[in-house]
């Protein structure tokens, strides 16, 4: 670039090529990201009032729809790490929200 040539800055720096993160996709993506964050905060407060932790609502919703399922099936359905689901179920069981028991059809498996 010549010294006497001056380029104006882009009109919208949020949408500049090479920008990283959510802002690179533009103002709509940024707005959706902010709404999602606010939703997580609000949902967290509501869940806390029920004695639940964020993420446990997905386990509870699946159980509500499916009824008793094997823990291994629940892990696949919610697409979380088995250790995460185990910890969630321990907390839910301690709070009295779920009950785990051996599957009568296969005593190696656990029904939730």
**Judgement on whether residues 67 and 107 belong to the same structural domain of the protein:** yes
**Judgement on whether residues 59 and 86 belong to the same structural domain of the protein:** yes
pLDDT surpasses 90 at 12: no
Q: How many structural domains does the chain have? A: 2
Q: What is the pLDDT of residues 17-50, one digit of tens each?
A: 555 665 667 888 889 999 999 998 998 898 888 8
pLDDT surpasses 90 at 92: yes
Containing structural domain, residue 21: 1-49
Tell me what pLDDT residue 51 has: 85
Whole-structure pTM value: 0.64
37-71: burial string, b at 16+ Cβ within 10 Å, e else: eeeeeeeeeebeeeebeeebeebbebbeeeeebeb
For residues 70 and 107, the answer to whether their CB atoms sit within 8 Å is no
**Judgement on whether residues 43 and 57 belong to the same structural domain of the protein:** no
Q: Which one of 18, 34, 49 terminates a domain?
A: 49
**Judgement on whether residues 25 and 61 belong to the same structural domain of the protein:** no
**Judgement on whether residues 2 and 40 belong to the same structural domain of the protein:** yes
């Amino acid at each position: 670039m010549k010294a006497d040539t001056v380029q104006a800055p882009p009109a919208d720096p949020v949408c500049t090529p090479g920008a990283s993160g959510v802002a690179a996709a533009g103002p709509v993506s940024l707005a959706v990201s902010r709404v999602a964050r606010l939703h997580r905060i609000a949902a967290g407060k509501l869940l806390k009032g029920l004695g639940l932790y964020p993420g446990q609502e997905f386990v509870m919703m699946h159980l509500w729809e499916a009824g008793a399922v094997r823990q291994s099936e629940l892990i696949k359905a919610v697409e979380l790490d088995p250790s995460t689901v185990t910890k969630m179920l321990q907390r839910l069981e301690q709070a009295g929200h779920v009950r785990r028991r051996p599957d009568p059809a296969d005593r190696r498996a656990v029904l939730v």
